[in-house]
Amino acid sequence: MQSEGKAFLYAKSAPTSAQVQGFEAFLSEKYGKTVALDFVADETIENGFILEYGKEVYNWTPEGRLQQFRDMIDEVRGRYRSSQQPEQMITLLKKSIEDWDLEALAEEEGSVLSVGDGIVTVEGLDSAEYGEIVMFESGVKGMVQDLRRGEIGVVLFGDDEDILEGGRVRRTKKTAGIPVGEGFIGRVVDALGNPIDGNGDIEADDYRAIESPAPGIIDRQPVCEPMDTGLLSIDSMFPIGRGQRELIIGDRQTGKTTIATDTILNQRDNGVICIYVAIGQKASSVAQLVGTLKKNDALKYTIVVCASASEPAPLQYIAPYAGTALGEYFMNKGKDVLIIYDDLSKHAIAYRALSLLLERSPGREAYPGDVFYLHSRLLERSAHLSDALGGGSLTALPIVETQAGDVSAYIPTNIISITDGQIFLESDLFFAGQRPAVNVGLSVSRVGGAAQTKAMKKAAGSIRLDLAQYREMEVFTQFSSDLDETTKRQLSYGQGLMYLLRQHQSNPLRLHEQVITLVAATAHVMQDVPLTKMLAFRQALFDHFHEEQGSLCDAIDTTGTLSDEDKVVIVEEAKQFVTRYLENINKES
């Protein structure tokens, strides 16, 4: 009889004819056609055998059986996690082991066609899905990123040294994901969720796919609660709400990362969980940042996800999605989460490298055509969930680096159009000592106003307009020498305001401190304080208020409101303080 198919049996020694008949009978029954068996001697197989028919592989070596057992245990763990009943673990395991039978499981295996630059082309995994994780013989994992006819492109999460042409590749039937759980808080992990801070293993509560659909309209509610940064220049004029996406954009070395870390520091004791995702940063800067967080006792509510510049591009590419998956885990539990992507320009560059290696056609600035989708599907996942879903929120502060202040380049314009506003940082201001170097004219927050605390709204009043007027007047009067008294006063008022917006790093201001500064400043109380003394004066003023008006300060912080009477009290108190302060200065000089 002519057989219709051909199978291969890999083993150390040849099977007996009875065994061959057995295999052939098994295959004919399974596939409904006659199959002839070819024996291939393989010295590397110590025990058992591997049966290969078409793309299906039956691995009956001890390793293969162990793998089957491991997969079973993994599956039990998955079921246990979703049941969330601790006492069930042992019962589940016992039952599964009793019921477990070594089966003739067909696995899909492919083989490596070519490998290079962290990209592997694999043949034979026809039903692998986009985003699925595949395993190589060396234990390195990869993610399917390119589906072509007859072959697939896989990006590697590790070293490609041990991956050889012709090597075996196994499907895992799992999409790329990251373990998540409370245990991650206070830790530094890589883009796959492995701890890299040397503090031991992390116990995960669940496993989440790194990509998941953004919440729909019905699942959301309006942004209505403030996410205070503790930075006067931002909270007063460009307030950020919980669930908002506010871009931090500026040239290199303009204090972008500092704004993000200051915001993290300001979340102490308010229950917000912070996630800092470092993409393509120097490992030393990330270490420094972790040091700052530790020093300020802020690491205990922060997770750092790090894919530094030395990491392979695929890890840099998935890092923000992994961080977001972690954030969503907490958001779905009703918590408020702040996530920082530092920075998305480097993320786009990593994706560009990856796409070019996968031979996708380059578009504008050599980025692939779907680079907008890359960031929109990431930032769309920030949300303020409806009360029915627990009311949690995910606030995103993406960071983008510009070249010479050019906001009209491809990536910056894309991300500006995706986010709900931007904080624009300027080199000139930064070097002039105006730090944080927020450009008041070009920055905007499109939704945060609704979430600003009442006290802040009332105190901030006209500060943005005043500053706009000041900037205009400054340009006008640049070359004129004799100015009338009113113009001079207006100029010095504006200058004073600009000085008051300066803030040292790691020094976020409390709500009442911001409110006092704004109320006093807009009432022109600080008009005569010399500019060089402005920051010292502000601190002295705070100390004075803490001593004399402690209850008012507390009331502002706890209620978030400011009555007209409070405003009068603040102005009067500040006026008296200024008079004494100026007298002291005059005495000294």
Q: Is 308 in the site for Mg ion (CB under 5 A)?
A: no
Query: Which pairs with CB-CB distance under 8 Å and at least 24 residues apart come from 290-298?
Result: 290/188, 290/197, 292/261, 292/506, 293/261, 293/264, 293/265, 296/265, 296/268, 296/506, 297/268, 298/264, 298/265, 298/267, 298/268, 298/274
CB of 257 to Mg ion, least distance (A): 3
* Residue reference for tokens 């509610």: 221
SS3 442: coil
If we measure between CA atoms, which residue out of 156, 194, 181 comes closest to residue 306?
Answer: 194
Contact 491, 474 (CB under 8 A): yes
Q: Is 256 in the site for ligand ATP (CB under 6 A)?
A: yes
Nearer to ligand ATP, 230 or 323 (CB): 230
253 binds, among ligand ATP, Mg ion, none (CB under 5 to 8 A by kind): ligand ATP
Q: Determine how β-strand 56-60 pairs with β-strand 49-53.
A: antiparallel
Residues 114-153 contacting ligand ATP, CB under 6 A: none
SS3 110: strand
CB of 262 to ligand ATP, least distance (A): 8
CB of 250 to ligand ATP, least distance (A): 6
Phi-psi region of 302 (alpha: psi -120 to 50; beta: other; left: phi over 0): beta
The one catalytic residue among 220, 268, 446, 510: 446
Residues 500-519 contacting ligand ATP, CB under 6 A: 503-505
Q: Is 244 in the site for Mg ion (CB under 5 A)?
A: no
Name residues whose C-beta falls within 8 Å of residue 543's C-beta, 6 or more positions apart in sequence: none
CB of 507 to ligand ATP, least distance (A): 8
Nearer to ligand ATP, 254 or 395 (CB): 254
Nearer to ligand ATP, 9 or 534 (CB): 534
CB of 504 to ligand ATP, least distance (A): 5
Of 217-225, 253-261, 265-273, 469-477: span binding ligand ATP (CB under 6 A): 253-261
DSSP state at residue 217: S
Nearer to ligand ATP, 487 or 505 (CB): 505
Nearer to Mg ion, 279 or 385 (CB): 279
505 binds, among ligand ATP, Mg ion, none (CB under 5 to 8 A by kind): ligand ATP
**Contact flags string 258-287 toward ligand ATP, x per CB under 6 A:** x-----------------------------
If we measure between CA atoms, which residue out of 170, 169, 191 comes closest to residue 179?
Answer: 191
Nearer to ligand ATP, 132 or 401 (CB): 401
Count of residues of this chain found to bind ligand ATP when the rule CB under 6 A is applied = 13
Rounded CA gap, 480 and 119, in Å? 64
254 binds, among ligand ATP, Mg ion, none (CB under 5 to 8 A by kind): ligand ATP
Of 118, 181, 241, 436, the residue at the interface with ligand ATP (CB under 6 A) is 436
448 binds, among ligand ATP, Mg ion, none (CB under 5 to 8 A by kind): none
Nearer to ligand ATP, 488 or 504 (CB): 504
Side-chain-facing half-sphere of 137: CA atoms under 13 Å? 13
Contact 416, 446 (CB under 8 A): no
Name residues whose C-beta falls within 8 Å of residue 138's C-beta, 6 or more positions apart in sequence: 162, 163, 167
* Residue reference for tokens 């295996």: 109
CB of 289 to Mg ion, least distance (A): 9
561 binds, among ligand ATP, Mg ion, none (CB under 5 to 8 A by kind): none
Q: How many CB atoms lie within 10 A of CB 16?
A: 9
**Distance spanning both ends of the chain, measured CA to CA:** 113
Of 214-222, 256-264, 441-449, 517-525: span binding ligand ATP (CB under 6 A): 256-264
What residue is closest to Mg ion based on CB? 257
Of 257, 266, 292, 422, the residue at the interface with Mg ion (CB under 5 A) is 257
Rounded CA gap, 196 and 193, in Å? 9
Nearer to Mg ion, 257 or 422 (CB): 257
* Residue reference for tokens 């009311």: 391
Nearer to ligand ATP, 208 or 347 (CB): 347
Residue 179: φ, ψ to 5°: -65, 145
258 binds, among ligand ATP, Mg ion, none (CB under 5 to 8 A by kind): ligand ATP
Q: What is the DSSP string of 283-304?
A: HHHHHHHHHHHHHTT-GGGEEE
Nearer to ligand ATP, 209 or 442 (CB): 442
419 binds, among Mg ion, ligand ATP, none (CB under 5 to 8 A by kind): none
Count of residues in the chain = 589
Q: Determine how β-strand 444-445 pairs with β-strand 247-250.
A: unpaired
**Contact flags string 399-418 toward ligand ATP, x per CB under 6 A:** --x-----------------
Q: Is 435 in the site for ligand ATP (CB under 6 A)?
A: yes
Of 253-261, 347-355, 454-462, 537-545: span binding Mg ion (CB under 5 A): 253-261
- Residues 374-400 as b/e (b if ≥16 CB within 10 A, e otherwise) read bbbbbbebbbbbeeebebbbbbbbbbb
- Residues 32-66 as b/e (b if ≥16 CB within 10 A, e otherwise) read eeebebebeeeeebeeebbbbbeebbbbbbeebbe
Of 79, 252, 300, 454, the residue at the interface with ligand ATP (CB under 6 A) is 252
For residue 446, indicate whether it is catalytic: yes
Contact 161, 188 (CB under 8 A): no
436 binds, among ligand ATP, Mg ion, none (CB under 5 to 8 A by kind): ligand ATP
CB of 396 to ligand ATP, least distance (A): 17
Binding region for ligand ATP (CB under 6 A): 252-258, 401, 435-436, 503-505
Catalytic residue set:
446
Binding region for Mg ion (CB under 5 A): 257
